[in-house]
Homo-oligomer: A and B are copies of this chain.
Amino acid sequence: MTHENRQYRLAARPVGLPKATDWEFTKEPARAPEEGEVLVGVEYLSLDPAMRGWMNEGKSYIAPVKIGDVMRAGGVGKVIASKAEGFAPGDAVYGSTGIQAFATLKAKELTKIDAKLAPLPVYLNVLGMPGMTAYFGLLDVGEAKAGDTVVVSGAAGAVGATVGQIAKIKGCRVIGIAGGAEKCRFVVQELGFDGAVDYKAGDIRKGLKEFCPNGIDVYFDNVGGEILDTCLALIAPRARIVICGAISQYNNTTPIKGPANYLSLLVNRAKMQGMVVFDYAARYGEAAKDMAGWMAAGRLKSREDIVDGLETFPETLLKLFSGENFGKLVLKV
């Protein structure tokens, strides 16, 4: 039995925001697994800001997606057919499936996940890459500890929401930066942040100063641009700034805005450090154990913004850059 696959392939390198013509929608039969391979029926796909970077040419922490290739994406689904030991039809798995309905992958590229422990989309969020990014970025790079004032931007997004919740669990004071009153209410009332500043509602600096009278000890940056600069001006001595992303700059057609207040690092003997989650692969298990425990205890929430239909991919991706998504953006195949 063959399955008709549907795929989004990269057709052109975008200038600014990706547009419809940067994609090619293709249909072809899914390839049957060979020895050591598994055919996965993809159920949910992760849409992430980092995807924008993968569409660009040039040296980065990971090779660019080639023109004509299926767009890279993490996905979860169930095994349809297996020629690999340890994988049987019906097993739930995570892998870099790409934006398509079926993926034929080597068994070693797949991770089995426990569909009874949490719904599949959670493995694209708190128990997946965004969760791992939040965990290691905050605790390892940010060195957050009890009593610290932690500020996180993109606070209602996949990484930010988990950063803030873990920081609360660790005894920090947590302030989120998010766009719009609803997201700000969400991070405070649903996620337990100590405060939130709405970057769409005016003076971020004033809001942060009120919430952080002793300065910012850890700033977890998902956005870059003016918000990074404002936070730099408000850091406390020996602050740690985690550079996780810069979504405000990804679609720039002009040069990236560098943080003019970077000399605050000198005055405050502070550090600004970049992180890439893949470096922590050997320690994912440790993080997953902590996070699953916190979820089971009701201390850590995983919120997904699930959009239905593989065919909506090009426009759904844009929700990330307009700030429309609320929680982890997931595409249901």
Residues of A within 8 A of B (CB): 59-61, 224, 229, 243-246, 249, 255-276, 279
Q: Are A271 and B269 in contact (CB under 8 A)?
A: no
Min CB distance A297 to B, Å, is 32
Q: Are A258 and B255 in contact (CB under 8 A)?
A: no
Q: Are A262 and B269 in contact (CB under 8 A)?
A: no
Partner of A269, one of B224, B265, B274: B274
Partner of A249, one of B243, B249, B259, B263: B263
Measured CB to CB, the nearest residue on chain B to A255 is B260
What are 19 A-B pairs with beta-carbon distances under 8 A? A61-B266, A61-B267, A61-B269, A224-B263, A243-B262, A243-B263, A243-B265, A256-B261, A256-B263, A262-B262, A264-B274, A265-B272, A265-B273, A266-B274, A269-B275, A269-B276, A270-B273, A271-B272, A271-B273
**A255 CA to B256 CA, complexed, in Å:** 16
Given the interface pairs A272-B272, A273-B272, the reply to whether A266 lies near B245 with Cβ below 8 Å is yes
**A239 CA to B249 CA, complexed, in Å:** 23
Partner of A266, one of B243, B259, B263: B243
